[in-house]
């Protein structure tokens, strides 16, 4: 796979080391990257100018960095007791991050979390492997991943002190599994604090909580934010200044209570691929503005009864990578609407430039009914899984 080849390349700049060690090191790193979730490696390639792969260097973790024993600041390699050297402990940023994590723990019911291994003020978040915390080679937090961990309560503003954060995942998966309620769901509530100082933040996944508001200044993360998922919350608004999110790839805000006008900004998001806004109360009209979203794969604005306007016919040609769109239970009109308004998912091959399906042979048309049923089943609570 192309993505993996590119990862392996990030190791080539370093001095040769015994083969086994190199292999162990790469294997660890690859596993970590695969588990990163959200945007797949191949999808990154499609939107990247190459800098993304160079940037991967920043997510080499503390453990992995143990192999780079000549690195400045870690001249002795990985030694557990480094965490207790005054020079390590007195670093201003590391202290601020540990304080932030402890505030988050206290604010969000840490004592009752499903797993809270090593979350203890006596220990170091990075060297002592606090559950859900990943650090870069400098001992700064790059990932906080506590999905389905009974994280409950408001997020403290201190969270914004994690200035190296790349990924924040506080999501709940399904509310129930096989008819049994999921007792581990998170219940983050209230307004999210500013993350404006998280200069590297690429992915926010907070679906399935009780969040009322995204950070007011989320647009200050727009230069790096690639994926924003906040489905199944209580949001009232779209993010401010959506047009600034030039690298945004995935926007999942379905099943909220958003009452805004449909923003004209969408056409200015050149990298947007997945848009999930279903089950909200969006108003206003779709216009010609949406046509430039030429990388769009999924556009689901269904179940917004007051949303009107027209999906321009031009998208039949211009949205070349389209997988499906969904406009069921909206007030959208026009030619595409005449084909798509009554079906849950309108697949690309359900319309074409000839305005009918007479050109298609049986083998051109996949099992639409089967695909739609599958999608409806997997899609009910979390479209995320169907797309990944």
- Smallest gap from Cβ 187 to ligand NAG, in A, equals 22
Determine, following the binding rule CB under 6 A, whether residue 345 of this chain makes contact with ligand NAG: no
Pairwise CA distance, residues 210 & 280, whole Å: 15
65, with CB counted inside 10 A (0-12, 13-18, 19+), is: buried
By CB under 6 A, what part of segment 116-155 binds ligand NAG? none
Pairwise CA distance, residues 286 & 199, whole Å: 33
Please pick, from the candidates 5, 35, 305, 366, the single residue that binds ligand NAG as defined by CB under 6 A.
Answer: 305
Determine, following the binding rule CB under 6 A, whether residue 113 of this chain makes contact with ligand NAG: no
The DSSP string of 60-114 is -BHHHHTT-TTSTT-TT---GGGGGSHHHHT-HHHHHHHHHHHHHHHHTTGGG-S
Please pick, from the candidates 240, 329, 333, 387, the single residue that binds ligand NAG as defined by CB under 6 A.
Answer: 329
- Smallest gap from Cβ 329 to ligand NAG, in A, equals 4
# binding residues, ligand NAG (CB under 6 A): 4
Count Cα neighbours of 193 within 13 Å in the Cβ-side half-sphere: 17
Determine, following the binding rule CB under 6 A, whether residue 279 of this chain makes contact with ligand NAG: yes
Structure tokens at 170: 């506080």
Residue (of 207, 210, 217, 205) closest to 157 by Cα position:
217
- Cα–Cα separations (whole angstroms), residue 130 to 126, 127, 187: 7, 8, 21
Q: Which is nearer to ligand NAG, 170 or 238 (CB)?
A: 238
Backbone angles phi, psi at 24, to 5 degrees: -60, -45
Q: Which is nearer to ligand NAG, 220 or 238 (CB)?
A: 238
Please pick, from the candidates 150, 152, 167, 303, the single residue that binds ligand NAG as defined by CB under 6 A.
Answer: 303
50, with CB counted inside 10 A (0-12, 13-18, 19+), is: exposed
Q: Which is nearer to ligand NAG, 108 or 346 (CB)?
A: 346
- Smallest gap from Cβ 304 to ligand NAG, in A, equals 6
- Smallest gap from Cβ 303 to ligand NAG, in A, equals 4
β-strands 141-145, 152-154: how paired?
A: unpaired
Q: Which is nearer to ligand NAG, 118 or 329 (CB)?
A: 329
Q: Which is nearer to ligand NAG, 323 or 326 (CB)?
A: 326
- Smallest gap from Cβ 305 to ligand NAG, in A, equals 5
β-strands 324-326, 346-347: how paired?
A: antiparallel
- Smallest gap from Cβ 189 to ligand NAG, in A, equals 22
- Cα–Cα separations (whole angstroms), residue 21 to 33, 180, 353: 18, 45, 56
Positions touching ligand NAG (CB under 6 A) are 279, 303, 305, 329
């Amino acid at each position: 796979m192309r993505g993996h080849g590119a990862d392996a390349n990030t190791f080539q700049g370093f001095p040769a080391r015994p083969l086994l060690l190199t292999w162990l090191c790469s294997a660890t790193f690859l596993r970590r990257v695969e588990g990163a979730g959200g945007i797949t490696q191949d999808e990154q390639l499609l939107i990247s100018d190459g800098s993304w792969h160079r940037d991967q260097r920043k997510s080499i973790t503390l453990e992995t960095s143990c192999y780079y024993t000549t690195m400045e600041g870690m001249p002795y390699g990985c030694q557990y007791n480094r965490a207790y050297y005054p020079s390590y402990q007195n670093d201003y940023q590391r202290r601020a991050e540990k304080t932030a994590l402890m505030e988050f723990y206290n604010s969000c019911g840490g004592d009752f979390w499903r797993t809270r291994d090593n979350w203890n003020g006596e220990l170091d978040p990075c060297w002592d492997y606090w559950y859900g915390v990943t650090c870069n080679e400098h001992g700064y937090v790059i990932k906080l991943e506590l999905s389905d961990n009974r994280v409950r309560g408001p997020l403290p503003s201190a969270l914004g002190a994690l200035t190296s954060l790349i990924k924040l995942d506080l999501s709940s998966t399904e509310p129930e599994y096989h008819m049994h309620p999921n007792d581990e769901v998170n219940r983050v509530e209230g307004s999210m604090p500013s993350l404006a100082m998280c200069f590297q933040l690429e992915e926010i996944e907070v679906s399935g909580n009780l969040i009322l508001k995204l950070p007011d200044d989320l647009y200050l993360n727009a230069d790096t934010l690639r994926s924003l998922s906040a489905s199944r919350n209580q949001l009232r608004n779209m993010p401010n200044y959506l047009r600034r999110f030039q690298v945004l790839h995935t926007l999942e805000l379905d099943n909220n209570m958003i009452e805004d006008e449909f923003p004209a900004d969408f056409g200015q998001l050149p990298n947007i691929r997945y848009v999930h806004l279903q089950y909200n109360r969006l108003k206003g009209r779709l216009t010609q503005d949406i046509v430039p979203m030429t990388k769009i794969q999924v556009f689901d604005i269904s179940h917004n009864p007051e949303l009107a306007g027209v999906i321009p016919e031009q998208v039949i040609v211009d949205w070349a990578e389209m997988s499906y769109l969904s406009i069921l239970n909206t007030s959208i009109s026009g030619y595409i609407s005449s084909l798509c308004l009554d079906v849950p998912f309108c697949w690309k091959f359900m319309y074409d430039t000839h305005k009918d399906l007479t050109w298609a042979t049986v083998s051109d048309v996949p099992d639409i009914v089967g695909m739609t049923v599958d999608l409806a089943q997997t899609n009910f609570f979390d479209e995320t899984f169907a797309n990944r």
